[in-house]
Structure 1
């Protein structure tokens, strides 16, 4: 389907460069910002021996407590096979354990261990200077404003998260 373009004009084309005015510009900027932020967070987690995918599961476990694997997959955007591999990694490291769910012989809940909580807390300490570097080019107050704007995009008032 062709875009509505007035005769003699050219549609805005996606360039993925600053100043792009295409309807895809915001999404592309968010993607690029995500890549940068993920790289910074991976750098913070590397000395602790875990990856961002592991930390994403630890975040859910700290927030929700013991969580069945299918809910972990949904909360982290992983598929069933990937979440099983991640939980296997966390179990090998002693950061999480699987436990039977009373009343459901098929379901297994994943629970963070005290060692997992220690790694979770250490990650925050390690990430602090790197996170500051991520927003170093912003003016005072802008990191908070950016967080507010992104929160409103990620969690719209209508609940379409």
Structure 2
């Protein structure tokens, strides 16, 4: 082994096994949690004809109102081409529309339609029993505690991201 590379045992290597103490353990665990939550919530979305990527945009539109595509991409962690495809899908389904931004004809803001709001509400109703299943292994008060911890993790009070 090279002199400038520390000798690490197999126990300190990054894994996603419970109890892993590597510096990557938390990130890997959060990634697994995301996959599980996304799979469960995908079950609620599928019968309604949309995917999680579509719903992520609808969430932003409900929270922020009309939003330019550049900001939608940033808010959803998407790239420019990806967000265009999602907005195209939402427009085709009648769930969102693009409108010109006053003062800049080149920029388009995306706005949720009344049909999009109806679907948004329907998704929440369909997701409720699945959300209960998602946290079924947790004890009383633990889902709320986990939500609090994750909120503070994602939105630190010092403004760091």
State if a TM-score over 0.5 links the two structures: yes
What residue is the counterpart of 1:65 in the other structure?
A: 65
Spell out the pairing of 1:60-99 with structure 2 (5 A cutoff): 60-99=60-99
- Distance between the aligned counterparts of 2:107 and 2:6, measured in 1? 49
What residue is the counterpart of 1:154 in the other structure?
A: 154
SS of the equivalent of 2:23 reads: coil
Spell out the pairing of 1:8-157 with structure 2 (5 A cutoff): 12-157=12-157
Give TM-score, length-normalised by structure 2: 0.94
Does the aligned pair in 2 maintain the 1:3–1:11 contact within 8 Å? no
Q: Compute the displacement of 1:105 (Å).
A: 1.2
Mean Cα displacement is larger for which, 13-22 or 34-43? 13-22
Name stretches of at least 5 consecutive residues in structure 1 with no aligned partner: none
Q: How many pairs are equivalent?
A: 158
Give TM-score, length-normalised by structure 1: 0.94
- Distance between the aligned counterparts of 1:98 and 1:3, measured in 2? 54
Q: Compute the displacement of 1:10 (Å).
A: 6.4
Q: Compute the displacement of 1:25 (Å).
A: 1.1
Does the aligned pair in 2 maintain the 1:37–1:134 contact within 8 Å? yes
